[in-house]
Amino acid sequence: MSPTNPEPVLKVEGLRKSFGDNEVLRSIDLSVAQGGVVALVGPSGSGKTTVLRSLNGLEIPDAGRITFDGGPVVNFGSGASKRELAALRDRSAMVFQHYNLFPHKTVLENVIEGPVQVQRRPKAEAIREAEELLGRVGLAEKKDQYPHELSGGQQQRVGIVRALALRPTLLLFDEPTSALDPELVGEVLSVIKELADEGWTMVLVTHELAFAREVATEVVFMDGGVVVEHGPPETVLRDPREERTRRFVHRLL
């Protein structure tokens, strides 16, 4: 294992998924290195979110395999077991487009829910860790407030803290800024950038190509349920090989 070419933390092979007649993923391969930041980009409906949700067991693919380094190997198609899916879910944490916070719980209660209820960690320890994480994103003062009392940007920062509190191997972001007013996008992107700089491994679905260019170690361009091309941002986003990528990138950058 060399620092320039570390073993992948996550490997996805031949992932397929249909919803009825709609073949949404047509054999997706993907690999994420330790500390890597993979940006999934592409037109709406190309299957990006379905890939992300599959990594977290929120969507069950029809075929293919997901392997976590030193952890679960889940083979779909032949019937992934409940235990395998639970192990898969344990490895990653998702930050959702619409935050998905519990409206009737305070910020702190939202953050400790997973660690205490799902992971069965001691409550006092979960609270201590939640308070520390909230402090890091500038929300220490908001811990006893309810989601509706916060701005969208603040709610999404809570969404990020909630994911971090699960101590995942992999962070998944599903268009984390697309529900935000433009003036609130920056505060969320800067938290994501800090996490990337700290070495968190992440997969990010985003329309923010300028941001992807800045933080991603690898950009994966999807269209029509396939990976059209992937590589470093300076290649895929500046000088793509494929015409389909070129058209998409030129429209957005």
Smaller CB separation from ligand ADP, 16 or 48: 48
Q: Residue 74 corresponds to which tokens in the numbers above?
A: 């889940």
**In the bound complex, what is the minimum distance in angstroms from residue 51's beta carbon to ligand ADP?**
7
In the complex, least distance from residue 83 CB atom to ligand ADP, rounded to whole angstroms: 24
What's the min distance (Å) between Cβ of 26 and ligand ADP? 11
Which residue lies nearer to ligand ADP by CB, 48 or 89?
A: 48
Are the C-beta atoms of 172 and 40 separated by less than 8 Å?
no
Give the Cα separation of 228 and 242 in Å (integer).
7
Residue 12 or 161: the one with the smaller Cβ distance to ligand ADP is 12
CA neighbor of 174 nearest in space, from 156, 150, 186, 193 = 156
- Return the number of the residue (42 or 114) whose C-beta is nearest ligand ADP: 42
Q: Which residues form the interface with ligand ADP (CB under 6 A)? A: 19, 22, 24, 42, 44-50, 205
Least separation, in Å, of the C-beta of 69 and ligand ADP?
25
Toward ligand ADP, which CB reaches closer, 24 or 150? Answer: 24
CB-based contacts of 222, cutoff 8 Å, min separation 6: 28, 40, 41, 42, 46, 47, 48, 51, 228
Please state whether beta strands 8-19 and 37-41 pair in parallel, antiparallel, or not at all (unpaired): unpaired
Residue type, 197: D
Nearest approach, Cβ of 49 to ligand ADP (angstroms)?
Answer: 3
> Which of these, 63, 143, 62, lies nearest to 101 by C-alpha position?
143
Nearer to ligand ADP, 24 or 158 (CB): 24
What is the number of H-type helices and E-type strands within the chain? 9, 10
Between 117 and 178, whose beta carbon lies closer to ligand ADP?
178
CB of 252 to ligand ADP, least distance (A): 14
What sign does the dihedral 117-121-122-124 (CA atoms) show?
negative
* Least distance to ligand ADP, CB of residue 139, Å: 28
23-61 b/e with 16+ CB inside 10 Å = b?
ebbeebebbbbeebbbbbbbbeebbbbbbbbbbbbebeb
